[in-house]
Structure 1
Amino acid sequence: MGIFDKFKDKAKDMSDAAEQEINEKTGDKYADKVDQAQQQLHKKLGIGQDEPGPEGPQQ
């Protein structure tokens, strides 16, 4: 595991924590928008591209 993999792991953890806190504070009112923003962030940072998701591995 390289230094960038460690960064991606930490960024994913921080992103998940931020999503959870935002959803708690807004009562899940904007959950869909928060999820979309998180997915865009993960895509730009390359987070989770090696992990198979519900639709299979991303390319």
Structure 2
Amino acid sequence: MGKLGDMMNKAKQMAKGHPDQADKGVSGAERMVDERTGNKYDAKTDKAADAARRSYRDDGPSGR
């Protein structure tokens, strides 16, 4: 596996160990993109944030 893949796996493991902190990061990134694009891609950022949360939470996406 390449360096990028290794970094992704490390990030996922860290997020699984600290899901509340990871949620804050995902929410912040989603909010920043929405603000900078004038909510033009709101549905897509919601979908991406949910997918990110599912990647480190065993019980699926958490509520906001």
**Inter-CA distance 50–44: structure 2 relative to 1 (3 Å threshold):** closer
Q: Structure 1 length as normaliser, TM-score?
A: 0.68
Q: CA RMSD in A?
A: 2.6
Q: Distance in 2 between matches of 1:52 and 1:42?
A: 7
Look up the match of 1:14: 25
Indicate how the Cα distance of structure 1 residues 22 and 44 shifts in structure 2: closer, same or farther if over 3 A, else same: same
Q: TM-score, normalised by structure 2?
A: 0.63
Q: Which has the higher contact order (CA 8 A, sep 6+)?
A: 2
Task: Give ranges in structure 1 of 5+ residues lacking alignment.
Answer: 54-59
- The correspondence for 1:32, drawn from 38, 43, 57, is 43
Question: Which of the numbers 36, 42, 45 marks the counterpart of 2:53?
Answer: 42
**How many pairs are equivalent?**
48
After the TM superposition, which segments of 4 or more aligned residues of structure 1 sit over 6 Å from their partners? none
Q: Identical aligned pairs, as a percentage?
A: 27
- Distance in 2 (CA, whole Å) between partners of 1:36 and 1:11 is 16
